[in-house]
Structure 1
Amino acid sequence: MTPAISKIIFVGLAVAWYLIRYKYARRSRREKVVSSARGPLETALLLISLSGLGLVPLLYVATGIPRFAAYSFHPALAWLGSFFAIAALGMFYLTHRALGRNWSVSLDVRENHRLVTEGIYRRVRHPMYSAFWLWAVAQALLLPNWIAGFAGLVGFGILFFGRIGREERLMLETFGDSYRAYMARTGRIFPSIR
């Protein structure tokens, strides 16, 4: 493992993420949104997350900026980062496949929206967030730069903690007792964490 290969793996992660999401984004646009939490806060959170998981690390990969934050490359960490990247993409794909047309980049409820509790959702309520946490860890391990490497943990962390409570309230308002029962038997991000 070399620094160049590590960067290529990170770019591959970003490209694969886009390819997975593109197909499902096109499908979900056909379903009418009946309720949404879109607004300035949601937009700001999404932009912060995009900056941390995409813009800052891709700037680093392309230019080496910010150079002052670089530290020594460790192949073992990059190999571990590759493992987390594969896990993130697997989780990301399974989440999109299970959600189908219910998927949305924002907090939206679509016409004919149903509570998905099968597949990856059998044990985890928010596996999409799990996938992004795995991505953020992969980024920190693949990119030996204190800012670019850890920007994903910070950027996505801000989105996660700014959004998760609102998302769960939206699901409770939409699905009521069914969602309450689902919450009782699943972990929020990982099976054992509620």
Structure 2
Amino acid sequence: MTPLIAKLLHGLCMVAWWVIRRPFERKSKRNVLMRDAMDVREKALLAISLTGLGVIPAAYIVSGFPATLDQPFSPLRAALGLAIFVAALALFYATHKALGRNWSVTLAVREEHSLITEGVYRFVRHPMYSAFWMWAIAQALTLQNWVAGPAGIIGFGTLYLFRVGREEALMRETFGAQWDEYALRTPRVVPFARRAQG
């Protein structure tokens, strides 16, 4: 494993993410939105996350900038990062598959929206966020640069911090006691970490 191969494989995983998501984006546009929380705040959070997980690493992969902030390269660390990214992609696909017609890139409730508690949702109530956290960690391991590496954790972490509570409030408003019961027995993003996540 060389820095170039690590960069190219990370870039390939980023393309795979888009390939996985694209068909679900097309299908979701056919579903009627009952409520959409896409506002300036949501757009800003999505832009910050996209910058950290997409724009900055893509620029680094293509140009190498800023090479002066590269870390000493560890092939083992890069391989671990790529393995985590592949696992994140598998979880990402499983989450989209489980959500089906309910999926939306924004905070939204669709016509005939149902609370999904099966599949990967048995283990965590936000497996999509789990997958993005894995991606962000993989990026920090694979792209061994002081800017490109942690950009994903900072970008996605910002979205998560300011969005997850709002999303849970929307779910509680939509599903009431059914959501509360589900949230009590299911951790947010880390399986088997109920007490730590509240």
Shorter-normalised TM-score: what interval? over 0.9
Q: Does 1:52 align with 2:52?
A: yes
Q: Does 1:120 align with 2:117?
A: no
Cα deviation, residue 139, structure 1:
0.5
TM (normalized to structure 2)? Answer: 0.96
* Aligned residue in 1 for 2:186: 186
Aligned length: 194
**1:154-169 correspondence to structure 2 within 5 Å:** 154-169=154-169
The RMSD of aligned alpha carbons is 0.7
Cα separation, 2, equivalents of 1:145 and 1:6: 12
TM (normalized to structure 1)? Answer: 0.98
One-letter amino acid of the counterpart of residue 150, structure 1: P
One-letter amino acid of the counterpart of residue 186, structure 1: T
One-letter amino acid of the counterpart of residue 135, structure 2: W
1:123–1:185 CA contact under 8 A, matched in 2: no
* Aligned residue in 2 for 1:84: 84
Cα deviation, residue 148, structure 1:
0.4
Cα deviation, residue 67, structure 1:
2.1
One-letter amino acid of the counterpart of residue 82, structure 1: L
One-letter amino acid of the counterpart of residue 190, structure 1: V
One-letter amino acid of the counterpart of residue 153, structure 2: L
One-letter amino acid of the counterpart of residue 48, structure 1: I
* Aligned residue in 2 for 1:142: 142
* Aligned residue in 2 for 1:33: 33
One-letter amino acid of the counterpart of residue 117, structure 2: T
* Structure 2: unaligned runs, 5 residues or longer: none
Cα deviation, residue 138, structure 1:
0.6
* Aligned residue in 1 for 2:103: 103
Cα separation, 1, equivalents of 2:148 and 2:123: 32
Deviations 1:127-157 (A, max 9, x none): 0000000000110111110100110000000
Deviations 1:67-88 (A, max 9, x none): 2211111001001101111111
Cα deviation, residue 191, structure 1:
1.5
Q: Aligned with 1:35: secondary structure? A: strand
Deviations 1:14-71 (A, max 9, x none): 1110011001111111001111111000000000000000000000000011122111
Deviations 1:150-169 (A, max 9, x none): 10000000000010000000
Cα deviation, residue 10, structure 1:
0.7
One-letter amino acid of the counterpart of residue 182, structure 2: Y
